[in-house]
Amino acid sequence: MTRRKTAVYALTVRGLTLGQKITAGFSDSYYLKPDLFGPRRLLKNNEFRPFDGLGQCLAENFAHYDGHVIIGAVGLTVRLIAPLLKSKITDPAVVGLGQDGRFAVSLLSGHLGGANELAKKTASLACGQAVITTATDLSGKPALEVLARDNGFKVEHWASLAPVASALTEDEEVPVFDPFNLFKPLLSRWPENFTDLNCPERGRAGPGLWVDYRTSPDCPETFLVLRPLGLTVGLGCHRDTDIREVAELFDRTFEEFSLAPGSVRVLATVDRRAEEKALLDLAEKLDVPLISYTPQELSPVPAPNPSETVKKNIGVASVCEAAAILAARTGRLLVPKQKSLKATCAVALTDWKSSAWAQAAPKA
């Protein structure tokens, strides 16, 4: 796990004293030791990083830290961060702390950004109290986007998150379509809030939760979609293959087999193709890593469609199928080799936590 990087800001001598106390005790397995920022006019012995204006300093730092703790008036903090906000998916955590240390207020990105936890950590070091206002926390209900992130799921249909969260806080039952029983075990603490939806209904109204690596059956537009990161994609190509050809092969494969691109965990290939721009471009587009294996690592993998031509040119009889299977660590190929003129693609299923995942998935 990557430790989170935090910036602490103070405007007064008293605030800097509190800031030094906080930064001294912050470092642990989850957080790096924070960087402390203060007014240049108060700098004496390089005990903090100086700024000439807090607004400019925040603007320069905002995207480069996972969290920000501002010691000062909350109203001032709100005005300074307002122009910097972009999306609840990407905005960092922001916590407002009075210079007396009594209250650490989670202001921004309480769940995904981690401001609620940052407020609790800050309050414990300042000997104060964390102020948490997110509705699901106050009602003892799960923050679904955090459960998803921490357990290998990607959120789609972000607009549906608020209605689902609202239904939970109102103690309404939320239907869950999860045919492979991947996410439901995480909801066992709240049995009264979730009900199984076994038969998807086209056009179903109201909030709900949809967990599947497939795009068929159709998901109701009002449901929050969680894509389990359970697919590994093996790729092969000639040198300097056009970027569009690889992207089109990927799109065609996933459309034909009703697979969700959001469920891709990793792309894999042979080491001789690890720097191909077409593969790197697809990995960037999907926001997943591209990993590679040597021919020696790929050779023992029992791929169903080997090629003597590939073996002659690359040194191994299978690239895409063997790479997909090896990356998945299951030996379970979901989609066999698909070909374009200069590229190949195959998809395998990962060894998910639930045995039902591997057992119930359809065979190619």
Read off the pLDDT band of 2 (50, 70, 90). Answer: confident
Read off the pLDDT band of 136 (50, 70, 90). Answer: confident
Q: How far apart are CA 45 and CA 61, in angstroms?
A: 22
| pLDDT for res 360 | 44
For residue 280, tell me if it sits in a domain. yes
Q: Are residues 243 and 340 in the same domain?
A: yes
| pLDDT for res 359 | 47
**Is 216 exposed, middle or buried (CB count within 10 Å of its CB: 0-12, 13-18, 19+)?**
exposed
Q: Are residues 347 and 250 in the same domain?
A: yes
CATH number of the structural domain spanning residue 50 = 3.40.50.11220
**Where does a domain end: 213, 228, 243?**
228
Q: How far apart are CA 60 and CA 78, in angstroms?
A: 16
For residue 127, tell me if it sits in a domain. yes
| Amino acid letter for position 206 | G
Higher-confidence position of 50 and 364: 50
- Residues contacting 126, CB < 8 A, separation 6+: 18, 21, 22, 97, 101, 102, 104
Q: Report the percent of the chain where pLDDT is more than 70.
A: 95
Q: What is the mean pLDDT of residues 177-186?
A: 93
Q: Are residues 217 and 334 in the same domain?
A: no
143-173: per-residue pLDDT in tens? 999 999 889 999 998 889 999 999 999 999 9
- Is residue 361's pLDDT more than 60? no
Q: How far apart are CA 39 and CA 52, in angstroms?
A: 6
Higher-confidence position of 361 and 315: 315
298-317: per-residue pLDDT in tens? 999 999 999 998 888 888 99
- Residues contacting 87, CB < 8 A, separation 6+: none
Q: How far apart are CA 132 and CA 108, in angstroms?
A: 11
**Where does a domain end: 203, 228, 253?**
228
39-74: per-residue pLDDT in tens? 999 998 888 999 999 999 999 999 999 999 999 999
The mean of the pLDDT values for the chain is 91
232-267: per-residue pLDDT in tens? 999 999 999 999 999 999 999 999 999 999 999 999
Read off the pLDDT band of 202 (50, 70, 90). Answer: low
Q: Are residues 208 and 316 in the same domain?
A: no
Is residue 167 within 8 A of residue 273, CB to CB? The reply is no
Q: What is the mean pLDDT of residues 101-116?
A: 93
Asked whether the CA dihedral 278, 281, 287, 291 is positive or negative, the reply is positive
Number of domains in the chain: 3
Q: Are residues 260 and 221 in the same domain?
A: no
Q: How far apart are CA 122 and CA 26, in angstroms?
A: 8
Q: Are residues 126 and 162 in the same domain?
A: no
Of the listed ranges 5-19, 84-98, 174-188, 344-358, the least confidently predicted one is: 344-358
- Is residue 279's pLDDT more than 50? yes
For residue 139, tell me if it sits in a domain. no
**Where does a domain end: 185, 208, 228?**
228
Which domain, by its residues, includes 84? 6-133
Of the listed ranges 224-228, 326-330, 339-343, the least confidently predicted one is: 326-330
| pLDDT for res 356 | 47
Q: How far apart are CA 28 and CA 201, in angstroms?
A: 47
Q: How far apart are CA 101 and CA 122, in angstroms?
A: 9
- What the block records as the tokens of 356 is 């039902």
Q: Are residues 220 and 235 in the same domain?
A: no
pTM of the model: 0.80
Is residue 196 within 8 A of residue 166, CB to CB? The reply is no
| pLDDT for res 105 | 96
Q: Are residues 172 and 109 in the same domain?
A: no
Read off the pLDDT band of 353 (50, 70, 90). Answer: low
Strand-strand pairing, 103-108 and 93-97: antiparallel
Torsion of CA 20, 21, 27, 33, to 10 degrees: -10
CATH number of the structural domain spanning residue 239 = 3.30.420.180
